[in-house]
Structure formats: C-alpha cells, structure tokens
Structure 1
Amino acid sequence: MHEWTFHSPEETMAFSELIAEYLQSDDVLTLSGDLGAGKTVFTKGLAKGLGIGEMVSSPTFTIVKEYKSGRLPLFHMDVYRISDEEDIGLEDYFDQEGVTVIEWAENIPSWLPDDYLNIEIEKLDEHSRKMTITSHGGRSESLLEEIVRDEHTRD
C-alpha cells in the first residue's frame, strides 16, 4: 500500500498518465471514493496516458464505456447502481485484452478477479485528494512497485 497527495485535478491526471505507461493487457484497476472524489478525473488521465483521444466521461447511466483508440482498449465501468447479486456479465471484460477500470467496485466484490489494483481517492478539500493504492495479486504488486520506483525517480 502506498499513499500520495495531489493538490489539483491536473496533478491527479498527470499521476494517472504515469500509471498508464505501465499498464498491460488484462490489468484491472478498481476506484473507490465518495461522489466527486475524482474517480473520473483519474480515468481521464489514464486514458490520455494510453493514447486515447476520445472524450472520457463517467459511465454512470451506461454502466460501461469502451474506448479502443489507444495503445490498449479501456473499459470504464461504473457499478454504483449494481449489486453483487446481479449477474450482467461485466466480468467478461476482464480478459478482453484491454485495461478495465471499475468505479464503485466495492459493490461487486465477488465479481472481481484475483489480481487487481485498488485506488482509493479521498477528497481532502475542494482541490486536494489523497490517493491510497493497494495491490491484490502478483501482477498488481509488480505494477505498484513500478509506479513507486518511477515516481521516486522523477522527483
């Protein structure tokens, strides 16, 4: 587990762009945090880092938005209105040779793969956010180590 603090949406997006450099096919990232914490801002930076030129917005009412114009496809999910008991096949995206980002993944714990990176975003004030990243599995542990190593190298 590692923590970072960012003082603007631009800092958050720059950090998620950095994370995108290390993402591989079938990586899964879960995002948790209150409404307005910055989950979609994080995903916008991730998409930019993947080379996706399309406008990224929250998939709140569509559940899944697919962006396929980048280095890897990005499957952006919002499961705020979904419960763990429902089975609508979202887990099929986990092996689609892209990156899956799931907002509100705490609502569907039984659907999550064995290996994923959880990013918790806490709103500190209007512009500042604390980000806590926890790995779950071997691939996500390696990914987190790469992010931490690179972040320290860039300081």
Structure 2
Amino acid sequence: MTSTHPRRNAQVDFETGRITSLVGELVSVKPVPAGQAVSYGGEYVTDCDTVLGLVGMGYADGIPRSATGASVMIGCDVFTICGRVAMDQVVVDLGPESAVPAGSQVEFWGERMPVATLAEKAGVPEVALTSYVGPRVEAEIVARIETSEDMEALGTRFASELRAGDAVVLKGELGAGKTTFTRGLGAALGARGTVQSPTFVIARTHQTDSAPLLHVDAYRLGEEGLIGDLDLDLAGSITVAEWGAPLTHAMPHWFDVSIERASGASADPLDDEADDPRTVRIRAGGSLPVQRLLRLTDGGNS
C-alpha cells in the first residue's frame, strides 16, 4: 500500500542555514523476480529475485538526478538507489531476504549517513545538497539558545520577517522563554509599552512602527468558541500567541515555534530569564511557504 502523503523532512541549522539531514518514507515494498526492469527507461534490471522499496522523494525534493547507485540508510542497514531518480520517487533494492516494512524512515543524509557520501556518488558539490529544500519537504530549523539574551535575539530575528497577518505560535513549558522571545520581537518592532506575559488579560495589543503587535496567552482558550468572543484582529496584526495551538484554526499560516528547556536544568524551571540551554524548533504552519521559514536563518539572511 502506498502512502498518499509520504513524510519528507529536512532539518536546518539556524546559524548556517544549511540542511543537516534529509529523510523520506519507504511508502511501499514489493517482491520482484530476477530480470525485472526498474524505474523509467528500464536501465536497472534485477539480477536475482529481490525486494524493491519505493521512497516518496525525488529530484523535486532535493535528491540529485545523478544519485543512482548512491547509498541510503534504513534502520541500521545501508541500501542502494537503483534505476532513475524520478521527480517524486526513487527505488531502493532491499535484497531478497528483506523484512523492511513500508513506513520506515529513509535517511539520505544526516547523523549516520554523511552528506559527503551522497554528494560524491552523485558528482555534485555538498553545498548543492545542503542549500536546497523542495517545496513539499517539511523543514525544521533547529536553534541552540544558551542565554536569555540569545532568546531575545531570536525574537529580534523574527521581527525582521514579519508583517500584518503573520503569526508566531509559541509552545513550551512554563519558564521556557516564550515571553523573553516576545520581548525581543516587540523591541525590534518598536512596540509601545512593556511587553510582558498577558496571562491575566489573555490578549494585549501594542502599537509598533508597522502593524500592531497582538500578544496573546491562549492557555485558557481551550474552546474555539472562546477565541471568537475575543474578536482578535489577526489579519491586521502581527500575532504572537503563547500556548497558541487553539488559535491555528483561525489563521491561514503561522511560524510554529517549540522551545525545549535542557533536561535536568539546575535553574528555577519557572524562571523565564534563567540562563540554561534551550533548543528551539521552528516549522512552517498552515500555508506558510518554506522559503519564508528559511529566511530566518543566518544562511537565509546572508
């Protein structure tokens, strides 16, 4: 059975804008006999009974057309791309004794499969692979944040990419740094008044040098009906929503920002200003184009 929406994921380093991993999904597996021609043109023919796997990624997603014969990692094993690389799929030979199931993750490069391996086999520069994210690939930017000043600086970076109708949905436990991030964003926008957690008022609007900044604490908005009662001007404002998942049904697109505090941090877990490491993961939500997401990185701004 073939998945109609195969997973296609890329991880992007915030500091460099480079793609550090590219993974896809094995959408189907099929036993085939010896002498079976594979993929377009039938240039690859199986030399024995084997099992072939179809991966739902191709040259439109960043796999070079010249990658035939390159290695990929599935589970703990290495397999070979066979046949032509098509626009939205590649075929891998899983071997005659394969028990690899459909749905398995396929690593083209990442922690265990160096990008240099694919680049060398495909005859392309590494930078050609680490600079491009196809429009169908779900990209995730990963930023390592060491201090509260770094968290404010991340908010400042966001401000340069935002305009009326944009939204940032912040997720993270108490003390993760959501309000610190928003303070940096608000300062960069020229927000009037003190940017602080709007927990007790639920939503607070700050006038800025551009569009109004709408700062929302959606923690208590568990029901969508309550959101409508607030009559928020999402279309005319730049919205930053802490605990903002309940708002996403009302927005066409948003920057999805998850803040993870270091496990075992010694500082007060409720202290938003504590200088212990955070990992911030940033994704495109709704219809947000991946290229807008990538402009947040140093690589995208250079």
Bigger strand fraction: 2
Q: Does 1:146 align with 2:295?
A: yes
RMSD over aligned CA atoms reads: 2.1
Distance apart, 1:52 and its partner CA: 1.6
Which runs of structure 2 are paired with 1:8-87 in the superposition (5 Å)? 8-87=147-226
Q: Which residue of 2 aligns with 1:7?
A: 146
Distance apart, 1:27 and its partner CA: 0.3
Q: Does 1:129 align with 2:267?
A: no
Q: Does 1:104 align with 2:253?
A: no
TM-score using structure 2 length: 0.46
Distance apart, 1:91 and its partner CA: 6.5
- 4+ residue runs over 6 A deviation: none
Q: Does 1:94 align with 2:234?
A: yes
TM-score using structure 1 length: 0.86
Q: Which amino acid aligns with 2:161?
A: Y
Q: Which amino acid aligns with 2:299?
A: H
Distance apart, 1:146 and its partner CA: 0.8
Question: Any gaps of 5 or more consecutive residues in structure 1?
Answer: none
- Worse-superposed segment, 35-44 or 84-93: 84-93
- Worse-superposed segment, 8-17 or 138-147: 138-147
Q: Which amino acid aligns with 1:41?
A: T
Distance apart, 1:50 and its partner CA: 0.8
Taking the aligned partners of 1:110 and 1:53, their CA distance within structure 2 comes to 26
Q: Which amino acid aligns with 2:292?
A: L
- Partner SS state of residue 48, structure 1: helix
| Structure 2 CA distance for partners of 1:140 and 1:50, relative to 1, 3 Å | farther
Q: Which has the higher contact order (CA 8 A, sep 6+)?
A: 1
Bigger helix fraction: 1
1:65–1:75 contact (8 Å) kept in structure 2: yes
- Partner SS state of residue 284, structure 2: strand
1:91–1:111 contact (8 Å) kept in structure 2: no
- Partner SS state of residue 299, structure 2: helix
Q: Which amino acid aligns with 1:46?
A: L
Distance apart, 1:2 and its partner CA: 0.9
Taking the aligned partners of 2:296 and 2:204, their CA distance within structure 1 comes to 26
1:84–1:109 contact (8 Å) kept in structure 2: no
Taking the aligned partners of 2:247 and 2:300, their CA distance within structure 1 comes to 34
Distance apart, 1:71 and its partner CA: 2.4
Picking from 236, 255, 272, the partner of 1:117 is 255
Taking the aligned partners of 2:239 and 2:174, their CA distance within structure 1 comes to 20
Distance apart, 1:85 and its partner CA: 4.1
Aligned residues: 151
2:152–2:180 contact (8 Å) kept in structure 1: yes
